[in-house]
Amino acid sequence: MRWLSLIFLVLLIIATLAGAHLANTYQKQVFQPLELERDEILVVRPGQGFRQINRELVDRGWVRHPWMLEIHARYHGIAGRLQAGEYEVPADMTLATLLDNMARGVVVRHRLTAPEGWTARQFLEAVQAHPALRPMPEPADLETVMAELGKPDMHPEGWFLPDTYVFGRDTPAIQVLKMAHEALNRQLEQAWTARVEDHPLETPYELLILASIIEKETGQAEERGLVAGVFVNRVRRGMRLQTDPTLLYALEPGATRLTRAELRRDHPYNTYTRDGLPPTPIALPGLASIRAAANPAETEALFFVSRKDGTHAFSKTYAEHRAAVIKYQLGGDASRYGARR
């Protein structure tokens, strides 16, 4: 009996020591910092199960005892909840935290900024080229985009709101375009509802067209309302808009200067030869320009001209405007006014 008691005691001691060793190993494996040489990124692909992910962690040298990590994940109900995505793994992160992040979908967020004044084409090119997005199949064009958005007959220009869009890796490019389109629709609807009572434009689309012209005419926040006021005044009086950006839009991409011949050449975007608004927006207007188009400043001005410093001089009469052109554009030489451009 003494031998049996002694054997039982020895086995108990061994079991206790083994249990303590396992507990210590488990603690180190799961709850101690990984102590990597540098911060890492782990990408979990759609369809990857826990064991595939666990194997990758072993291959990276982050896990020495994969069965321990599996027991931890299954005990805590995490194994079946790991989400696809791109995860940051700081050098001092623990595996417990990493698994928790994957279960909650705490993925890396990527950004794409569409500046005010871009064209729809520029936005599409930026979306297609973003390394974290899944691009549309080539050839990807704006007609395809509008069809994907359920608007196959809509001209694409102007229908995406300039903003910063946030997304995870492998997000479809069309999803970002859809976000921008839906954001534009919301803001345009709100601006149209809040427009001044006697606004001369008849539809939200006309408001969008005007907003795009305002966007291209000035980058000065304090001027947007005044620029909008000038155009609204001209619409009310039946005057042509006579705005250069609409002509530039019809030229080759990147064009910045107009010739006298181009001013005279008649086409739908020539607001010197055509009455009213151009047929479509000419750029992606920002929220400030949309709001300015809906609620223009109260002004008697009918003209404005660049001071060549980013700001404009506003005038009520043609005589005042002529004087401003001579001063700011022609260096004070009135003899050049007739030969301008």
- With 0.85 as the threshold, say if the pTM is over it: no
Q: Going from the N-terminus, what domains does the chain have, and what CATH number goes with each? A: 28-104 (3.30.1490.480), 110-187 (no CATH), 196-336 (no CATH)
Q: What is the mean pLDDT of residues 266-295?
A: 96
SS3 readout for 9-40: HHHHHHHHHHHHHHHHHHHHHHHCCCCCCCCE
pLDDT confidence of residue 2: 59
pLDDT confidence of residue 17: 43
pLDDT confidence of residue 216: 96
Q: What is the mean pLDDT of residues 24-42?
A: 75
pLDDT band for position 330 (50/70/90)? Answer: confident
pLDDT confidence of residue 283: 97
Query: Which range (11-25, 42-56, 128-142) has the least confidence?
Result: 11-25
Residue with the bigger pLDDT between 105 and 24: it is: 105
Mean residue pLDDT of the chain comes to 88
Q: What is the mean pLDDT of residues 249-262?
A: 79
Q: What is the mean pLDDT of residues 326-335?
A: 79
Contact 304, 312 (CB under 8 A): yes
Contact 255, 337 (CB under 8 A): no
Contact 290, 163 (CB under 8 A): no
pLDDT confidence of residue 7: 55
Q: What is the mean pLDDT of residues 282-294?
A: 98
d(CA 333, CA 324): 11
pLDDT band for position 47 (50/70/90)? Answer: confident
d(CA 240, CA 233): 10
Output the CA–CA distances (angstroms, integers) from residue 151 to 83, 142, 147, 148, 155, in the order listed.
Answer: 33, 11, 5, 7, 9
pLDDT confidence of residue 341: 44
Q: Residues in the chain, how many?
A: 341
Asked whether residue 32 carries a pLDDT value surpassing 50, the answer given is yes
pLDDT confidence of residue 12: 47
Q: 146 is written with which tokens?
A: 């509008």
312-315 and 303-306 beta bridge pairing: antiparallel
Quick: pLDDT tens for 206-248: 999 999 999 999 999 999 999 999 999 999 999 999 999 999 9
